[in-house]
Amino acid sequence: MQLAQMSDNGLFQPRHIAATLRTSTEEVGQTVGLGKDAVQRRARIASAKTQARLRALVEVLNKVQPRFGSDLIAYAWFRSEPLAGFDGRTAMQLVQDGKAQQVLEYIDAVDAGVYS
């Protein structure tokens, strides 16, 4: 995911992320734990919480995309693959709980061979 393509005027735009992932803005919102209004109303899109969640999604997908070779496969991994050491929770569930940094650290640990 090219960051410049995911944003307008310095803000992550759910519609650009949804287009890249071939899904709806509503699903993008649900994926990161936001309601429909948060990804459709301009004022809500600009909120710190919405931007933090969208940034977390993009950061995680950018980190794992080279491993899978596709944004779509990385997105499927994000939504469905249980992570070792997190009681079977997925990256999506952890991001929804505000634990994106732990997901990024987990990915770094896997790349370093800790969980292989």
pLDDT in tens, 7-49: 778 899 999 999 999 999 999 999 999 999 999 998 999 999 9
Phi-psi region of 11 (alpha: psi -120 to 50; beta: other; left: phi over 0): beta
36 within some domain: yes
Residue 17, domain extent: 3-111
Q: What was the pLDDT predicted at 6? A: 77
116 within some domain: no
Is 116 a residue whose pLDDT tops 60? no
52 within some domain: yes
Task: Tell me the whole-structure pTM to 2 decimals.
Answer: 0.89
pLDDT tens-digit series, residues 75-101? 999 999 999 889 999 999 999 999 999
Enumerate residues 6+ apart whose C-beta is below 8 A from 3. Answer: 58, 62
Number of domains into which the chain is organized: 1
